[in-house]
Amino acid sequence: MACDRKDIVLKWCGKVCAIGSVLVLLALYVFIAGESLPIWWDAGILPLLLGKEWQPLGESPQFGFFTMLVSTLWSSLGAMLIAAPLGICCGIFLAEYAPGWLSAVIRTVLHILTGIPSVVYGFLGASVIVPWYERVLGVPSGESLFCASLVLSIMVVPYIVSGTYAAFKAIPLTYREAGYVLGVSKLYITTRILIPLAGHSIVSAVTLAFGRAAGETMAVLMLAGNTLTLPLTWFSKGEPLSALIALEIGTAGIGSRQYQALFAAGLVLLLFVSSINFAIYYCNSRGRD
């Protein structure tokens, strides 16, 4: 009887926590959308998303997110270009080839890396990667989207490694044993059997890392260059959406057009990251089917 009461209490606590989480998320959406609604209504959705000029304090203020959106894509996609192959290969190595003690040590280090504040990564990037970039290319200022991507790749690689490792460990041993019985090599089993089976989970891990990179603030703020010009290459300076919000929200007057535009930028970023999370859920549901 006492156990039944405990189960009922735990069940209701779980429901309350779940409903509370949903309500908090909805409240966040409603608040950000409400603060940005006037600028969406006055300026229009397409002019805000596709406008290339950001001059909030000019005689004729202009608010366009296109330049910052491109910077966000350069930095986050560039980070995934580096982190995805490295993280997937590392996860496969830890799950299938590394000795147990080595796998445990590396995974512990990766877990520690996920807990390091992003400002520390940004400081290390500004102290090490930027000077190296300046020496190699002979440029006076090394802050660029490339340097931001390098640091972002270091920050998100643990998520890809952990997701890949968990995906491979979730595959039953019978698949491996069947391959060994047939005399198939370990490399063949890994590439032709295990990777296709773990494909959906690997895609989910990479997508999660992409969302993490797209929403990162401090590292890109310190390394991207913070230039409001359209970045045409990966090596250009830029200012992602998250950096724009962090730089200007403290000086924007409450209720001003700049204030509303920054909340609109936050809504765009929130919707972008949320769509990535929905994509992860879709991949996981397809994988279970």
The predicted-structure confidence for 18-52, as pLDDT tens digits, reads as follows 898 889 989 989 999 999 999 999 888 898 999 88
User: Mean per-residue pLDDT for 219-223?
Assistant: 91
pLDDT of residue 138: 81
Per-domain residue ranges for the chain?
A: 54-286
**pLDDT surpasses 60 at 119:** yes
pLDDT tens sequence across 167-210:
999 999 888 888 888 888 888 888 888 999 988 889 889 988 99
Using CA atoms, how far apart are residues 193 and 163, in angstroms rounded to an integer? Answer: 18
Average pLDDT score, the chain: 88
At 62 the three-state DSSP class reads strand
Identity of residue 285: S
Sign of the dihedral defined by the CA atoms of residues 207, 124, 162, 114, in that order: negative
pLDDT of residue 289: 56
**pLDDT surpasses 80 at 283:** no
Identity of residue 63: F
pLDDT of residue 9: 77
The secondary element (H helix, E strand) that includes residue 54 is strand 54-55
DSSP 61: -
Beta bridge partners of 55: 62
pLDDT of residue 2: 53
Question: How many C-beta atoms lie closer than 10 Å to residue 42's C-beta?
Answer: 12
The secondary element (H helix, E strand) that includes residue 63 is strand 62-63
Specify the long-range contacts of residues 138-142, CB closer than 8 Å, at least 24 apart: 141/225, 141/237
**pLDDT surpasses 90 at 86:** yes
**pLDDT surpasses 60 at 1:** no
Query: Among residues 229, 241, 255, which one has the least CA distance to residue 39?
Result: 255
Percent of the chain with pLDDT over 90: 45
User: Mean per-residue pLDDT for 139-155?
Assistant: 91
Question: For 115, phi and psi rounded to 5 degrees?
Answer: -95, -5
State the maximum Cα–Cα separation within the chain, in Å, rounded to a whole number.
76
* pLDDT-derived band at 287, boundaries 50, 70, 90: low
**pLDDT surpasses 80 at 235:** yes
**What predicted TM-score, i.e. pTM, was given to this entire model?**
0.87
- State which of 84-88, 96-100, 134-138, 222-226 shows the largest mean pLDDT: 84-88
Identity of residue 216: E
User: Mean per-residue pLDDT for 260-270?
Assistant: 92
The secondary element (H helix, E strand) that includes residue 75 is helix 66-92
Using CA atoms, how far apart are residues 230 and 215, in angstroms rounded to an integer? Answer: 19
Q: What is the CATH number of domain 54-286?
A: 1.10.3720.10
pLDDT of residue 284: 67
pLDDT of residue 168: 94
**pLDDT surpasses 90 at 79:** yes
pLDDT of residue 95: 92
pLDDT of residue 52: 87
Question: For 55, phi and psi rounded to 5 degrees?
Answer: -135, 80
